[in-house]
Amino acid sequence: MKTRQFFQTIAVALILTLGIFTSALQAAEAIKRVEPPFWWVGFEDTHLQVMVYGPDIAAMTPSITAAGVTLDKVIQVKNANYLFLNLTLAPEAKAGKFDILFQGEGGKGIVYSYELRARKAGSADRQGFTSADAIYLVTPDRFANGDPSNDSQPHMADKLNRADKDGRHGGDIQGMIDHLDYMADMGFTMLWPMPLQENDQQRTSYHGYSITDFYNQDARYGTNEDFLALTQQARARGMGVIMDMVANHIGSGHWWMQDMPMDDWLNFYQQDYVQSSHVHNTVYDPYAAQEDKEKFSGGWFDTTMPDLNQKNPLLATYLIQNAIWWVEYADLAGIRMDTYSYPDMDFMAEWAGRIMQEYPRFTIVGEEFEDNRAMVSYWQRGKVNRNGYRSALPSLIDFPLHAALVKGLTEKDGWREGLKRLYGVLSMDLDYAAPEDLVILSDNHDMSRLYTQLGEDFDLYKMAMAYTLTMRGIPQIFYGTEILKTSPEVKDDGKIRSDFPGGWAGDKVNAFTGEGLGKTEKAAQDFVRRLANWRKTKKSLHVGKLMHYVPQDGIYVYFRYTDQEKVMVVLNKNGQAKDLPVARFAEMLAGTRRGHDVITGQDLDITQKIPLGARSVTILEIE
């Protein structure tokens, strides 16, 4: 075997010397894309699939002669402009470059240099986000314009138009870097930007969910190197970055759409347009018709979002590798997966499982935008579903809890209404395999602003924010919620994701510095800052248990506690001050004499009763 490899190496050297193979420049012209563009040695899974794209590339025969690298299989597909190379990277494979030789007719060929990199020390053991963190969700285009020179790109159709609520406003990666100190000062430990990958669409491209290049950031945001700088500078401030990903669909401007690899790369590609029914229940419904299942999972999200067919094994591997590539390249602290229930369910189990295989302590949170606990819990790792489906996904966004929070605060208390909704939704946490790993949200980019949902009632706002920052799970705050941003009650994405004041030169209001903010807006910002920073040190909120009491007389009480620490939270919806007798809470308060009010800073005697302000939240550290 070694003798044969020796002679192959000599032959290649002679061919190169004679100039039969093309130069590197000619190779770049002949091969338009290689994805992943590079890889790493040292992964648990030693297999690598490389997509090679170039004019009639399938007519060429690839070969590799490199220590520790084996070309196991060459896969040709219907489109001759694609080749898929299945490689094995043995333990002895070293970081560095090796040549892939593409042999054509008449002795002509191409030499492509592919790179393997060394993984960062400790990469596999990276810690994902946990309930010790607080997440700050940002719409990058609407947060801050740190580099006006990239606002529009000559080769991209959707140009800067800040006057258009649905247009590009110019926010970018540099803008987020410039304001990492603000985020850290506010107490946030994780940054979740909406997707930054290229969205080369004709219009409404700012939201990021119409990806047209899986391996490159949108030039109007910056470069891959800029994104890496963001994660590095966030790490330097004790923060991590969560990457927003999409496996269900692509943008209609994706380069695949001009030259599709295979007929089944997309769902319903060969037929008339079929839109997803968006009826999530069909995934779980034991009585659902197959046609309904296929229409939900296979239908396009809309006309500009073609639906990917993850049952195609080549595409499935491509998407899995892309996620791992970004984790390793950008040193990610987590992934948020958009529209988690829409893709093929078996693929999603494999996708999450492969990532967790490489990063056992990592965190992935999936979006199942439903307020039904059974539908959300279906996708969490550890849940044993009646149909036998097992997920590998660590976390979900807790939309049911958010729906209960808004209704619980805004509707009149009744038999099951009002605060009873908060009690009721938590009492059913038995639906979840790990409720403490859920992400609980104040609001997000797909719903009206929290302050709007609460009728612009500041008292209710403080209750909601305190609840979000003290309840079990991982809190997530939407940018601008800390300064009482509002939106129309009827959902309007462009207005929900409005510009953060102070992110653009010439803004009259600067929320980063507080200049120009109103009194109530400043009070809201200070309130969130105080609680978010306080919770950083509270083990009872990070790993503690939860005990709550059935709401009575417009008052809801719950405790977060460990053996060493205890926090009591009281929501009082009444329009008047109350004295709360403590005898009912003896299980938690027996032997306790004093409590420290986190919000007011006062120490209280709680041997008999706890004074509650009208329409207020009280948070006590129990001695």
Question: What is the C-alpha to C-alpha distance for residues 12 and 15, in angstroms, rounded to an integer?
Answer: 5
338 catalytic per annotation: yes
CA angle (227, 230, 234) in 5-degree steps: 150
Tokens of 443: 């609001």
Question: What is the C-alpha to C-alpha distance for residues 243 and 608, in angstroms, rounded to an integer?
Answer: 49
- Spot the catalytic one: 178, 244, 338, 482: 338
Question: What is the C-alpha to C-alpha distance for residues 214 and 251, in angstroms, rounded to an integer?
Answer: 11
367 catalytic per annotation: yes
Question: What is the C-alpha to C-alpha distance for residues 323 and 335, in angstroms, rounded to an integer?
Answer: 8
Give me the DSSP letters along 270-328. Answer: TSS--B----GGGGT-TT--HHHHHHHHHSBSBTTBPBB-TTSHHHHHHHHHHHHHHHH
Question: What is the C-alpha to C-alpha distance for residues 316 and 309, in angstroms, rounded to an integer?
Answer: 8
Question: What is the C-alpha to C-alpha distance for residues 473 and 254, in angstroms, rounded to an integer?
Answer: 36
Q: What DSSP state is assigned to residue 335?
A: E
Tokens of 235: 């790490």
- Say if residue 590 is exposed, middle or buried (CB neighbours under 10 Å; 0-12, 13-18, 19+): exposed
Question: Pseudo-torsion of CA 19, 24, 25, 27, nearest 10°?
Answer: 90
Buried (b) or exposed (e) across 356-365, using 16+ Cβ within 10 A?
Answer: bebbeebbbb
* Radius of gyration for the chain, computed over Cα atoms and rounded to the nearest angstrom: 27
SS3 of the chain: helix, strand, coil, percent, to 5: 30, 25, 45
Question: What is the C-alpha to C-alpha distance for residues 469 and 466, in angstroms, rounded to an integer?
Answer: 5
- Spot the catalytic one: 151, 367, 443, 482: 367
* Local structure of 72: helix, strand or coil: strand
- One-letter amino acid identity for 422? L
- Say if residue 414 is exposed, middle or buried (CB neighbours under 10 Å; 0-12, 13-18, 19+): exposed
Strand 69-76's sheet: what is its strand order? 33-35, 47-53, 82-89, 69-76
Question: What is the C-alpha to C-alpha distance for residues 515 and 509, in angstroms, rounded to an integer?
Answer: 6
Cis peptide before 306 (omega within 30 of 0): no
Half-sphere exposure of 587 (CA within 13 A, CB side): 10
Cα 389 to Cα 178, 308, 348, 517: the distances in Å are 44, 21, 11, 50
Q: Across the strands, what pairs with 609?
A: 581
Tokens of 113: 């240099």
- Which of 355, 323, 325, 315 shows the shortest CA–CA distance to 38? 325
Cα 47 to Cα 44, 410, 472: the distances in Å are 9, 54, 39
Instruction: Indicate which residues carry an active-site annotation.
Output: 338, 367
